[in-house]
Amino acid sequence: MAGKFDGRVAIVTAGGSGIGAATARRFAQEGASVVIADLSGKRAEEVTTGITASGGKAVCIKMNAADPEGVQATIQLALDTYGRLDIMFNNAGLAEMAPLDETSLESWNHVLAVTLTSTFLGMKYCLPIMRKQGKGAIVNTASISGKGGDYGLSSYNAAKAGVINLTRSAAIENAKHNIRINCVCPGAINTRAAQILGKERADEFRRLQAVAHPLGRMGEPEEIANTVLFLASDDASFITGVEITVDGGVTAHTGLPDMLRLQK
């Protein structure tokens, strides 16, 4: 049975774990040839090995998504290995917690570089190739933290808000070239970011997130991957310049208390 992405080539940044790894696997399952780029070359290699062992096509590269030369090398690997580039998933991001007045300039610049500048670079260097091909799809990872504020995450909030509006600007500039550009805005997802807190703190983190999400749980990486695949596919052929929220209902809620419970 043919896959939705047979004959197409996709790059996934931060593809060594979490949302990136889940998306890379889904692309491969649907027939795409995948280039997996990650700051951890070991994790990128592990995901690549898993895909090829299952009969899929994938190569990997150790890459800093905020480094122009690294991004260019990743795109060149796609071209040298597979001869084209159809899909770019700019997924890299980073958060560092601190009150705004205690956030160092170094930390601010680091978060913006990995989260926002990486998205700019990914689009900047893949767009000329897609224009020559006459078609392409780009998906950027934003966040519900780009649509609202969080305590202690001012740099991350600013960077993800930038990803959303950068997506819009790039979309309207490139629609005439038949290149669609969208972003996905996840809520809290059960990835390494939760796991590195340690078991006790991670369990408490998950409990608090379950309370915050009307669906009663955190999201899974595969649930974001499914949305990314939709946006990159021909099923979304008339969708560009949008952010799709996948957050278990968090942003649907005003934040006010449940008045029905108070009446009981």
pLDDT of residue 254: 83
- Asked whether residue 205 is domain-assigned, the answer is no
- What is the maximal distance between C-alpha atoms in the chain? 66
Active-site amino acid positions: 156
Please give the Cα distance from 170 to 152 (Å, whole number): 29
In Å, what is the CA distance from 255 to each residue of 63, 154, 161, 212?
Answer: 39, 20, 20, 9
Q: Total domain count for the chain?
A: 1
The pLDDT of residue 192 is 67
- Does 227 map to a domain? yes
Could you tell me which residues come within 8 angstroms of residue 210 by beta carbon, excluding any fewer than 6 positions away?
Answer: 216, 217, 218
Identify whether 48 is part of a domain.
yes
| 57-62: strand order across its sheet | 57-62, 33-38, 9-13, 87-90, 136-141, 179-186, 243-246
The pLDDT of residue 253: 87
How confident is the model at residue 259, as a pLDDT? 64
pLDDT the model gives residue 1: 46
- Tens-digit pLDDT string for the chain (264 aa): 469 999 999 999 999 999 999 999 999 999 999 999 999 999 999 999 999 999 999 999 999 999 999 999 999 999 999 999 999 999 999 999 999 999 999 999 999 999 999 999 999 999 999 999 999 999 999 999 999 999 999 999 999 999 999 999 999 999 999 999 999 999 989 876 555 556 667 778 788 888 888 888 889 999 999 999 999 999 999 999 999 999 999 999 887 777 666 666
* DSSP secondary structure letter of residue 213: S
Cα distance between residue 209 and residue 254, in whole Å: 16
Quote the CA–CA distance of 24 and 221 in Å, as a whole number.
Answer: 11
| 260 domain residue, yes or no | no
pLDDT for position 197: 59
The pLDDT score that the predictor gives to residue 212 is 85
Specify if 153 maps to a domain. Answer: yes
**Distance (Å, rounded) from C-alpha 15 to C-alpha 247?**
21
Position 264 in a domain: no
Q: Do the domain assignments include residue 46? A: yes
- In this structure, what CATH number is given to the domain that contains residue 29? 3.40.50.720
The rounded Cα 142 to chain-centroid distance in angstroms is 7
End-to-end CA distance of the chain: 54
Domain range holding 133? 9-189+220-248
In a domain, 64, yes or no: yes
b/e map 112-136, b = 16+ CB within 10 Å: bbbbbbbbbbbbebbbebbeeeeeb
